[in-house]
Structure 1
Amino acid sequence: MNFRLLGLAVLLTTASPALVPALAPAAVAQQKQTITLEDIWQKGTFAAKSVPGFNWMRDGRYYSSLSQGNLVQNDVTTGQPVQTLVAAQDLKLPGQSQPLPVDGYSFNADEQKILFSTDTEPIYRRSSQSYFFVYDRATKKLTPLSQAPGKQLYATFSPDGKRVAFVRANNLFVTDLATMQETAVTTDGVENRILNGGADWVYEEEFDMSQAFSWSPDSRQLAYLRFDESQVPEYNMQKWGPLYPADYRYKYPKAGEKNSVVTAAVYDVAAARTTKLDVGTETDQYLPRVSWTQTPNLLSIRRLNRLQNKLEILHADAATGKARVVLTDTDKAYVELTDDLRYLAGGKQFLFTSEKDGYRHLYLYDMNGKLVRQLTKGGWEITSIEGVDEKQGFVYYTSTENALLLHGTYSDVHMGLVQNRPLERHLYRINLKGKEKTRLSDATRGTDVVNMSPDCRYYLNYHSEAGDPQVVSLRNGQDGKLVKVLEDNAKLRQKLSEYTLSKLEFMKIGLNGAVGGDQLLVASILKPANFDPSKKYPVLMYVYGGPGSQTVKDDAGGGIAFTNYLWHQLLAQQGYIIVSVDNRGTGARGAAFKKSTYANLGKLETEDQAAAARFLGQFPFVDKSRIGIWGWSFGGYMTALALTKNADVFKMGISVAPVTNWRYYDTVYTERFLKTPQENPQGYDDNSPVQHADKLRGKLLLVHGTGDDNVHFQNSTAFVDALVKANKDFQTLYYPNRNHGIGGGNTRLHLYRQMTNFVLQNL
């Protein structure tokens, strides 16, 4: 694999469309402050503001929010409160002098009843449990959802507002709000064995699914999933603190092991009758989505095979349970699950996105799965459907189809990406005939994140650019025109202007012989503000590199968290150049680029990172003997692998919460990209850092939380064991009871202080 040196085209973080040479010295600011770790992790000096507690109300003209314990209705066109829907003083329980300390809420369909939650505690990444209370706006009565002991999960109004369904202790319940009578839909729920209406750990983590039930549009039926995880092996974590540490056991299916057996059913509320849905005879499969269509009594079920290279859409009759496959999407590698399936009113058509032409695009089908038409096409990706305006016949979506070319600010030739423009996200709309495509985003660059009103009349737009905090604005859904800026973060911009900050620039790196011919990797580079091209600088590379990911984006953090961006600025102040490269396997550049790493995770990705490091080492201002690398999670894996398989390139590395052997990670994620270990043992072992521990030469800091329920501490202990056996020196840092995010209290401040010191001492 040969890299060739190419000219670099750089897009600066200013709004100016002008292109400048990539390596021109940045202007040195005078009398500026320097960023400290306390600024980032303790003082909140650079905390960006948003529009807190924003929830669209049903007519699209108002939104609600919590303000000092009050639930307030706000006018979207002004951002100003127009009335108090529920005063804090009305949220007092009998005999209590203080209002209920609510931390969340949801309305029923006519917005006359409200579910308030309190004392919410997280469980895993997306799940939490709370005490829920029902508030009636007409009577101002506040009532506990349940009198039974224990917190509730996923409390949800029926569409008619007469009932609430929820999960408690792994069983599904329905409460009739007229009588407050509670009915158990299921009774067989048992911890670490049977779950009803709530997803197991791996579905929650990898399919973004925690609530596993939904009401029918007519409120008469409740569809739900049942997880039998009795055959799934348990993982045990110790909770440190007491004299004898406590065990925490939960079901975690590692690659190649047994998954939960998942079934689907429908409960008829009036008849108190449960009907099982026909999801096939195969039990070793996934049912990651069950939802109601716009057709009465018709359910939509998505079914994935174990290897996730075949996705089927089933339509099931709720009365009989009979189901049929209406659409099948297959791929030689894998098919990714999205939330882009939308059923249209009238019960005749549905929208779906697929990568079947090489890029994720939008398709319209009839209810029998017959293609009506492909609505979008081209060498770019749809990232999500934001809304459907059926009255006007338009679909709203965000995509990587960068319309800067239309504004003449830079072209494919400049960026060298040839129909692959992955740095930005903008909002478009197109009609259901595939015509009248319009770009609604009016920014000349950057990234737009959209929150559209239910009727598509308005949308909130969260716009940011590299190193530039977000601007939150209300916009018209018809033409994207600005209605009002709700938050411009002007104070933060002023604060940032008082500090010595460097411009984040983007560049291209030429790669020969890649999938599909010559490929160009995109990268970002952050140089010291007083950069002098006649001097030599050390380089620290930041990597994630996992399938479909991006660290190189034109947004507030440059594709990474703003806090990491600020830490990189702190290191730039210390004389380091920070570079991030999106290797093969990363996202937004089409299926071939993303899936080129299939069945062999780590190989091409680390080759690309090493080749990029060698590429950087050719520049006269880079000290090629002082190139380091760091990353978290998949990036921690990449760092460990880079330091071993490419020990001649990297002087040091920081590997945080890494997978070190894919045999230790979960079924859904790992098998999607590697098949099972039984089918593909070499794909698991050839690029495990554990297998290459004897090659380590540079300085390594290995960091992990002992309470990591996602990437188990076991990964780091296995790597440490291999390094000790190979008689290699390294440093470790572990955080008791911290999860994958390694946070809480002073934890992040402490962690980044250790990481900073390690960089300063070893690079």
Structure 2
Amino acid sequence: MGRFGLIRAFGTAVMLFLATAAVAGNEVSRQQGVPGGTAEVAGTTLSIGELYRYQSLIGTTPEGYSWSSDSDTVLFLWNDQGYSFRDIWTYSVRTGEKTRLTFLGQDSVPHAERPGISQAVMLGDSRVAFTLGGKLHIREPDGSVSPIETEKQAVRGLAVSPDGKWLAFVSGSPVDTRNRVTLGGELWIRSTEDRRENSARRLVGSDDPKIYVQDYEWADDSGSIVFHHSDDREMPERDIYFYADGELQNNRVIRAFPGDETTRARIGLVSLASNEIRYFDRPDPKHHIWDYGLSGDGKRLFISGSDLEAKEHTIYLYDVGSGARETFYQLRDPRHLRPDWQVDWAPADDGLIILTDRDGWLHLYHQRNAGEPPHQITQGEWEIESFAVDGTTKSLYFTANKSHLADRQIYRVPAAGGEVERVSGSASGTHQPVYSPDFSRIADWYSSDTMPPELFVIDTDRPREATRVTRSPQPEFYDQTWADTRYVEFSSHVDGMKLVARLIVPANFDPTRRYPVIVGSVYSDAVRNQWGGRRSHPTWGLDQYLVGQGYLIISVNVRGSWGQGREHNQTQLHSYGGTDINDLESGVRYLIAQGHADPDRVGIWGSSYGGLMTIMSLAKKLGVYAAGIAGAPATNVWHAYPSQMWIMGPPEGDDMPARYEAQSPLYHAAGIEDPLMIIHGSRDPVVLYSDTIALAEGMIEREQMFELVTLPGAHHGWDLENLPQTRFSFRKMIDFFDRNVKNRK
């Protein structure tokens, strides 16, 4: 039984053939070398304040797709005016009509930046259940909205049973109503026909909020639910003190460092009829769980997991009746880096479909019985990101970069193997599909380097065609001249590995001119053909502004990233601030060799891991960069999440502590000679602000000059929290780069 995650969405019904010139015009240049531009101006003339405004220039991204049981209607969350508050919309495939169901955001004050409704599902009879502010509500057919389960908070994870009779959800723990340390998680069900206010029945829960349901899925017969149960009681709690709003505050969190106790996890099965719970234990409960699922007949259960360092992938198969366990699949690679595995039941429960990189690239395999060699279904020097099983047609739908590293296109292939068919159109870009229950249609989040995200609907009987549902940008968006995005390839100057980069150039690019360059924002998986590149930070406007002012911007698919196979990513093992920053330097060398970059005016920036690479680059690559900006920089890997041991290794061994020190900027900062700015929120629980202070203290003692921008009370996503903070931070960055890179003396 597959679990199709909620993805983003959009709307205005226009039949669009993605192979036509209208969309094919989004195809970006992928040739070697960088040809000139034809526009009269470099790019946008808008200011940072005009690019980042409460009524978003690029519109509000449609989110949270959910299909009706008959696969006719897709529900999505959107604001057609471009404000932050998302209401519920539907699109009917049968009628082609787009309808707004709720109007809760019409009185919302724009500068409050309320996100609005976070999830919605259809209950049948034109009723919709949704969450707003952590509370559960019902929208009736007459348009009225009523809160239900009013005694519960932090409600999330809504899912209707396959037979449509039950609504399941997870709520926060009632022990601490403010959920200060941990959210908690109790599993509930209520009848979809019940109109009473507090009628839900608790299936799984604990008085201790550190024991919680993380996620779950329904059995095909709707008679039981399988769930992921987590226990954080042994993990340390940490106080993060900070000053904000005129007082000392404490962001107390559960937070493990490498070597600390971590979450203990197991999979359980609860019967709706009896409330009986059975647990299916693994040899080590601290090992990761990546996937789990009941067979269609409910008699077998698989659990896919790995050790903490993601070096050994193991799939256990259980007999649900007896609890007997067998090792179905196991593969160990001491250099394995990324846990991109996915597992699901094959059609008719005929074994398992496994997404694994056992041949060096992430591909699909079919294994019928425990211990037998898996049969490879897809192959080639490209990678699959995710897949879903259509049991009726015995097909596998998947997203992959078969067309180009930066793309995520939709494909399908017979489960028995055979020809791979492209389902999405010929235009380049990124697709994130949500499949209807019968796989007859796909709600498709689509974006490219020239198109902000929109919702399309694809009829799988007519692949490569799509109906556009939303049109999100404001009219002024289409009046601007936007920068041109290219993709370039070059070899590593260290070991010759093929590297790919996303390069943004002015619309009037002159290939004979040497431009100032910004490398960033640097991170893994940074080469994506979608509006703004990486979406973890809202840097689309910052990038457009900088290019409009005459900069080039380059992002390199550094080692450890997805998409170029195991040989490419495994060279990052034990090499934070090593192989990765060599790849960044290779990108700079390429632009200089092509005659496009001024070697004396190159800047670099990134946040979190990108901040680590920025500081390491300034410390170890003297003469390459004129200046750098490190946002929330991970300066000490001793304080990373234990999951980062995939790359940096465990906190013990004959090579310790040298191995961790080699990957921590804190121990290399003495080598920094060029201007550095650090931007960090004081409330950050991911990368501790105290680590930035430790770095600053050392630099002050050595009398190294740097600039520190502290954002009081800000979290790890310092440029995502509110527009005033975003605009302030980006203006500080622009001023810094203009002084130290563009106008460097």
Distance of 1:173 and 1:17 partners within structure 2: 46
Q: Which residue of structure 2 aligns with residue 195 of structure 1?
A: 211
Instruction: Say if 1:20 and 1:348 are closer, same or farther in 2 by CA, change over 3 A.
Output: closer
- CA offsets per residue over residues 40-91 of structure 1, 9 Å max, x none? 2125463146556643212222223568999665322553058x9x7889xx
CA drift of 1:755 comes to 0.5
> Is 1:376 aligned with 2:378?
yes
Structure 1 distance, partners of 2:482, 2:646, is 40
Tell me whether 1:631 sits opposite 2:606 in the alignment: yes
Find the counterpart in structure 2 of residue 42 from structure 1. 53
Where relative contact order (Cα < 8 A, 6+ residues apart) is larger, the structure is 2
Q: CA deviation at 1:469?
A: 3.6
Structure 1 length as normaliser, TM-score?
Answer: 0.81
Alpha-carbon distance between aligned partners in 2 of 1:29 and 1:495, rounded to the nearest angstrom: 18
- Tell whether the 8 Å contact from 1:156 to 1:166 is kept in structure 2 after alignment: no
Mapped pair 1:311 → 2:329: no
Give the paired residue count: 683
Inter-partner Cα distance in structure 2 for 1:187 and 1:472:
37
Distance 1:145 1:392, change over 3 A: same
2:560 paired with 1:588 = no
CA contact (8 A) 1:662 1:688 kept: yes
Tell me, what secondary structure is at the counterpart of 2:680? strand
**In 1, distance between residues paired with 2:430 and 2:579?**
28
Q: 1:728 to 1:48 in 2, by over 3 A?
A: same
Supply the AA of the counterpart residue of 1:399.
A
Alpha-carbon distance in structure 2 between the residues aligned to 1:646 and 1:468: 36
Q: Could you tell me which residue of structure 2 aligns to residue 674 of structure 1?
A: 648
Q: CA deviation at 1:16?
A: 7.0
- Which residue pairs with 1:76 in the alignment? 93
Distance 2:735 2:713 in 1: 24
What's the counterpart of residue 343 of structure 2?
Answer: 341
Pairwise CA distance, 1:154: 3.4
Secondary structure of the residue aligned to 1:722 is helix
Q: Deviation of residue 707 (structure 1)?
A: 1.6
CA contact (8 A) 1:364 1:371 kept: no
> Where does residue 60 of structure 1 map in the other structure?
71
Match of 1:293 in 2: 295
Offset of 1:279 from its aligned partner? 1.6
Distance 2:138 2:340 in 1: 33
2-side partners of 1:227 and 1:398: how far apart? 30
Cα drift, residue 217 of structure 1? 3.1
The structure-2 alpha-carbon separation of the partners of 1:505 and 1:73, relative to structure 1 and needing over 3 Å to count, comes to closer
Question: Does the aligned pair in 1 maintain the 2:397–2:411 contact within 8 Å?
Answer: yes
- Report whether the alignment pairs 1:739 with 2:715: yes
Cα deviation for residue 749 of structure 1 reads: 0.5
Provide the residue aligned with 1:125 in structure 2: none
| 2:279 aligned with 1:262 | no
State the secondary structure of the residue aligned to 1:734. strand
- Paired residues of 2:42 and 2:509 also in contact (CA < 8 A): no
Superposed, 1:569-648 pairs within 5 Å as 569-648=544-623
Partners of 2:530 and 2:154 in 1: how far apart?
39
Give the equivalent residue in structure 1 for 2:401: 400
Q: Which moved more, 1:685-694 or 1:31-40?
A: 31-40
1:651-692 deviation line (CA, Å, top 9, x unaligned): 100111111111111101x11112212135333111311111
Aligned to 1:240: 243
- Contact 2:237–2:253 (CA under 8 A) maintained in structure 1: yes
* Separation (CA, whole Å) in 2 of partners of 1:187 and 1:54: 28
- Separation (CA, whole Å) in 2 of partners of 1:607 and 1:703: 24
2:483 is matched with which residue? 502
Deviation at 1:452, TM superposition (A): 2.6
Please list the CA deviations of residues 234-254 of structure 1 after superposition, one character each: whole Å capped at 9, or x if unmatched.
Answer: 121225336652322221111
- Alignment of 1:685 with 2:668, yes or no, is no
Identity %: 19
Q: CA deviation at 1:165?
A: 4.9
1:478–1:185 CA distance, 2 compared to 1 (3 A): closer
* Aligned 8 A contact 1:50 1:487 in 2: no
Q: Secondary structure at the match of 1:341?
A: strand
Deviations 1:427-469 (Å, cap 9, x if unpaired)? Answer: 2211122113212233253333333322221223444433344
Point out the more displaced range, 171-180 or 260-269: 171-180
Q: How far is 1:138 from its partner?
A: 11
Shift of the 502–22 alpha-carbon distance from structure 1 to 2, 3 Å rule, reads: farther
Aligned partner of 2:148 among 138, 141, 144 = 144
> What are the residue-to-residue correspondences of 1:176-187 with 2, within 5 Å?
177=191, 183-185=201-203
CA–CA distance in structure 2, aligned partners of residues 683 and 389 of structure 1: 46
Q: Is the 8 A contact 1:42 1:749 kept in 2?
A: no
Change over 3 Å in CA distance of 1:705–1:71 after alignment to 2: closer
Tell me, yes or no, if structure 1 residue 117 matches structure 2 residue 118. Answer: no
Equivalent positions of 1:270-289 (< 5 A) are 270-280=273-283, 282-289=284-291
How far apart in 2 are the matches of 1:31 and 1:395? 44
Which residue matches 2:83? none
Amino acid at match of 1:341: V
**Aligned partners of 1:309 and 1:334 also within 8 Å:** yes
The superposition leaves residues 151-185 of structure 1 with CA deviations (integer Å, 9 ceiling, x where unpaired) of 54435444442464533313635455468655554
Aligned to 2:439: 456
- Compared CA separation, residues 505 and 586, structure 1 to 2 (3 A): same
**Alignment partner, residue 18 of structure 2:** none
> 1:97-129: CA deviations, max 9, x gaps?
xxxx96542234x567643323x2xxxxxxxxx
**Paired residues of 1:134 and 1:145 also in contact (CA < 8 A):** no
**Which segment is superposed worse, 159-168 or 587-596?**
159-168
Classify 1:379/1:621 alpha carbon distance in 2 versus 1 (closer, same or farther; 3 Å). Answer: closer
**How many Å separate the matches in 2 of 1:401 and 1:645?**
36
Q: Is the 8 A contact 2:363 2:384 kept in 1?
A: yes
Structure 1 contact 287–303 (Cα < 8 Å) conserved: yes
Unmatched tracts of structure 1, length 5 or more: 1-12, 90-100, 121-129, 199-210, 403-420
- 1:437 is aligned to 420
Code of the residue aligned with 1:241 in structure 2: it is A
Q: Deviations over 1:294-336 (max 9, x none)?
A: 1324322223222221122222234443322212233222364
Secondary structure of 1:427's counterpart equals strand
Structure 1 partner of 2:21 = none
Instruction: Give, in angstroms, the shift of residue 524 of structure 1.
Output: 3.0
Task: Give secondary structure in 2 for the equivalent of 1:46.
Answer: coil
Residues 585-618 of structure 1: CA distance to partner in whole angstroms, max 9, x if unpaired? 2221101101111122221111222243244334
Query: Which residue in 1 is equivalent to 2:504?
Result: 526
**Given that residues 347 and 367 in structure 1 are in contact (C-alpha distance below 8 angstroms), is that contact kept between their aligned partners in structure 2?**
no
**Which residue of the partner structure matches residue 706 of structure 1?**
682
Separation (CA, whole Å) in 2 of partners of 1:186 and 1:61: 33
User: Is the contact between residue 155 and residue 165 of structure 1 (CA under 8 Å) also seen in structure 2?
Assistant: yes
- Which residue identity lines up with residue 428 of structure 1 in the other structure? Y
Alpha-carbon contact 1:380-1:400 (below 8 Å) kept: yes
- Find the residue that maps to 1:593 and give its secondary structure: helix
The one-letter code matched in structure 2 to 1:240 is Y
Tell me if structure 2 keeps the 8 A contact 1:693–1:726: no
User: AA paired with 1:540?
Assistant: I
Work out the CA distance in 2 between the residues paired with 1:162 and 1:531: 58
1:485 matched to which residue of 2? 468
Question: What's the offset of the Cα at 1:507?
Answer: 1.9
RMSD: 3.5
Partner residue of 2:171? Answer: 167
Match of 2:349, SS state, is coil
TM-score, normalised relative to structure 2 = 0.83
Matches within 5 A, 1:9-20: none
Q: Report the residue type matching 1:349 in the other structure.
A: G
Match for residue 758 of structure 1? 736
* Cα pair distance change 1:25/1:44, threshold 3 Å: farther
C-alpha displacement at 1:710, in angstroms?
1.9
| SS of residue matched to 1:589 | coil
What residue identity is the alignment partner of 1:759? Answer: F
